[in-house]
Amino acid sequence: MILTGNVAVDPTNLEAISNAIIFKEGDSSERRALFTQWAQKMKQDGALAIIQLSHGGRQSSVWANRTPFGVSDIELKTDPPGIMCVKPVALTTEQVKSEVVDRFVYAAKFAYECGKNIRPVFKNTVVYLTGGFRTVGAMVDAVLRNTTQGIGLGRPATAEPDLPKKILNGSVLSAVQDAFNPNDLIKQMLASGSQLEQMGRNSVRKAGGNVMDQISDYSDERVVEVFNGKTMEMYGKMQKDALSGKAPKMLVVMN
Ligand SMILES: Cc1cc2nc3c(=O)[nH]c(=O)nc-3n(C[C@H](O)[C@H](O)[C@H](O)COP(=O)(O)O)c2cc1C
């Protein structure tokens, strides 16, 4: 199965700059051809292609929109405030329909039409729950209680790509605890992005089978301090780039 990254359903409420977007105002045969090509590429070796449709909501990137829509006007807190997300404009119930529901429906139909020959799915769907799982005990408990059939891991999986393997072979009982403020989701997402970039530098073969090759250890407070400094540098550069008309790049590169 191949799942895309976020594909925005609204051209102004992006999850991140450079998201692919499906929106009725931009419908064209060229865009349909490109999305069809994308679906074909994903399916070329027999994978099931799933498109992830998203609306940024209050988490919309400030780089794309300074007045994002939200279900309330409560801002997502980030450190420093306002650098990633800003106070959203609360939608009315009618706007939730016209600006969110209708856009999702439109994008789903567009995606279905572009990838039409995708076989019927969800007959034997397995439900995965993601978010906050760190200990094996809690994961097992959630499955035993039938809350979910599988566990998804986000941030812990970029810190330790072989964590599922280690859990299954019984060598660990939890993810490693990082030294970030647990409420600073955006900072942690950026840190995960930096780890993904590190993983991409080398092949596992060239690293002698070491999947942890070059990955920063954020359980170490000193590493987090270095990361914080580099994050501020990145924001500065993003601001400069945005002002000079260049597309800002949101990636913290660690050594
Ligand atoms: C590097 C990274 C990329 C992610 N990309 C997406 C995404 O494309 N769509 C999405 O809905 N969530 C995405 N998430 C959020 C995760 O699915 C998950 O909800 C979140 O990280 C909380 O789970 P965790 O506590 O295991 O990290 C991403 C998370 C990380 C760390």
* Res. 1 pLDDT band, cuts 50 70 90: confident
User: Is the CB of residue 219 below 6 angstroms from any atom belonging to ligand 1?
Assistant: no
User: Is the CB of residue 52 below 6 angstroms from any atom belonging to ligand 1?
Assistant: yes
* CA 61/CA 68 separation, integer angstroms: 8
* Res. 155 pLDDT band, cuts 50 70 90: very high
Domain ranges of the chain: 2-114, 126-177, 179-255
Residue 125: what pLDDT? 76
Tell me the pTM: 0.75
Question: Taking 60 as the threshold, does the pLDDT of residue 118 lie above it?
Answer: no
Q: Separation of 155 CA from ligand 1 center, angstroms? A: 7
* Res. 123 pLDDT band, cuts 50 70 90: low
Q: 176, 189, 195, 197: which to mutate for ligand 1, most atoms within 8 A of CB?
A: 189
Residue 9: what pLDDT? 98
Question: Taking 80 as the threshold, does the pLDDT of residue 119 lie above it?
Answer: no
Q: Mean of the per-residue pLDDT values for the chain?
A: 93
Q: 54, 130, 134: which to mutate for ligand 1, most atoms within 8 A of CB?
A: 130
DSSP string, 4-73: EEEEESSSSS-SSTT-EE--GGG--HHHHHHHHHHHHHHHTTSPPEEEEEE--GGG--TTT-SS-EESSS
Of the chain, the percentage scoring pLDDT greater than 90 comes to: 79
